[in-house]
Chain A
Amino acid sequence: MNRYIPIFLVFLLAIFLSIIIGPAQLNTDILQLRISRVILGIFAGGVLAFCGGILQGLFGNPLVEPYTLGSASGAALGGSVGMLIFGTISPLFAFLGALGVGFFVFTIARIEGGLLRDRLILAGVVMSFLCSSLVMIIMVMGGRELYEILYLLMGYLGVVINSTNRLMIILMIVLSGILLLYLYQYYRELDIISQGMETAAGLGIDIQKLSIIIFLTTALLIGITVSIVGAIGFVGLIVPHISKLIFGPKHLKNLPASFLLGATFLLLADTIARVITVYELPVGVVTSLVGVPFFIYLYRRQ
Chain B
Amino acid sequence: MNIIETRDISFSYNTKEILTNVSFSLKQGEFLGIIGPNGAGKSTILRLICGILRPKHGTITVSGHDTRGIERKQLAKKIAFVSQETHFVLNFTVEEIVMMGRFPYLRAFQRENKTDYEARDHALAYADLQDFRKRPINSLSSGERQRVVLARALAQEPAILILDEPTSHLDLHHQFAIMELLKKLNKEGMSIIAVNHDLNLASLYCERLILMHQGKVFEQGSPKDLITEKILKQVYQTEVKVIRHPQKDVPHILLNPKGE
| Direct touching of A and B (C-beta under 8 Å) | yes
Instruction: Take A192-B103, A196-B87 as given contacts and tell me if A202 and B52 are in contact as well, using a CB distance cutoff of 8 Å.
Output: yes
Closest chain B residue, CB of each to CB of A251: B90
In the complex, A177 has a CB within 8 A of chain B = no
Taking a contact as CB atoms under 8 Å apart, the answer to whether B104 and A203 are in contact is: yes
In the complex, A204 has a CB within 8 A of chain B = yes
Interface residues of B in 103-150 (CB under 8 A from A): 103-104, 106, 108-109, 149
Q: How many A-B pairs with Cβ below 8 Å? A: 82
With a CB–CB cut-off of 8 A, which chain A residues contact B97? 195
User: Which of A112, A191, A195 interacts with B85 by CB under 8 Å?
Assistant: A195
Interface residues of B in 58-114 (CB under 8 A from A): 71-76, 79-81, 83-85, 87-92, 96-97, 100-101, 103-104, 106, 108-109
Which of B13, B47, B72, B156: most chain A Cβ within 10 A? B72
Instruction: Take A201-B50, A204-B76 as given contacts and tell me if A250 and B83 are in contact as well, using a CB distance cutoff of 8 Å.
Output: no
Closest chain A residue, CB of each to CB of B81: A202
Report the separation of the CA atoms of residues A202 and B160 in the bound assembly, to the nearest whole angstrom: 12
Chain A interface size band reads 20 to 34
Taking a contact as CB atoms under 8 Å apart, the answer to whether B104 and A204 are in contact is: yes
* Min C-beta distance of B51 to chain A, whole Å: 8
Closest chain A residue, CB of each to CB of B109: A185
Interface residues of A in 192-223 (CB under 8 A from B): 192, 194-199, 201-206
Taking a contact as CB atoms under 8 Å apart, the answer to whether B81 and A198 are in contact is: yes
Taking a contact as CB atoms under 8 Å apart, the answer to whether B96 and A203 are in contact is: no
* Min C-beta distance of A189 to chain B, whole Å: 8
Report the separation of the CA atoms of residues A256 and B76 in the bound assembly, to the nearest whole angstrom: 29
- How many of B's residues come within 8 Å of A, CB to CB? 36
In the complex, A16 has a CB within 8 A of chain B = no
In the complex, A249 has a CB within 8 A of chain B = yes
Task: Mark each residue of chain B from 20 to 63: 1 if its CB lies under 8 Å from any CB of chain A, else 0.
Answer: 00000000000000000000000000010011100000000000
* Min C-beta distance of B257 to chain A, whole Å: 36
Taking a contact as CB atoms under 8 Å apart, the answer to whether A206 and B72 are in contact is: yes
Taking a contact as CB atoms under 8 Å apart, the answer to whether A113 and B108 are in contact is: no
Taking a contact as CB atoms under 8 Å apart, the answer to whether A203 and B103 are in contact is: yes
With a CB–CB cut-off of 8 A, which chain B residues contact A199? 81, 83, 85, 149, 152
With a CB–CB cut-off of 8 A, which chain B residues contact A189? 103
Report the separation of the CA atoms of residues A197 and B53 in the bound assembly, to the nearest whole angstrom: 12
With a CB–CB cut-off of 8 A, which chain A residues contact B75? 204
Closest chain B residue, CB of each to CB of A187: B108
In the complex, A60 has a CB within 8 A of chain B = yes
User: Which of A194, A195, A201 interacts with B52 by CB under 8 Å?
Assistant: A201
In the complex, A186 has a CB within 8 A of chain B = yes
* Min C-beta distance of B122 to chain A, whole Å: 18
Taking a contact as CB atoms under 8 Å apart, the answer to whether A194 and B85 are in contact is: no
In the complex, A110 has a CB within 8 A of chain B = no
Interface residues of B in 188-237 (CB under 8 A from A): none
Which of B13, B14, B52, B75: most chain A Cβ within 10 A? B52
With a CB–CB cut-off of 8 A, which chain B residues contact A186? 108
Question: What are 10 contact pairs spanning A and B, CB under 8 A?
Answer: A185-B108, A192-B103, A196-B83, A199-B81, A202-B76, A203-B156, A204-B71, A204-B75, A204-B103, A250-B92
Add 14 more A-B contacts to A196-B85, A202-B76 (CB < 8 A): A112-B13, A185-B109, A188-B103, A191-B100, A192-B103, A194-B92, A199-B149, A201-B52, A201-B81, A203-B156, A204-B72, A204-B103, A206-B72, A249-B91
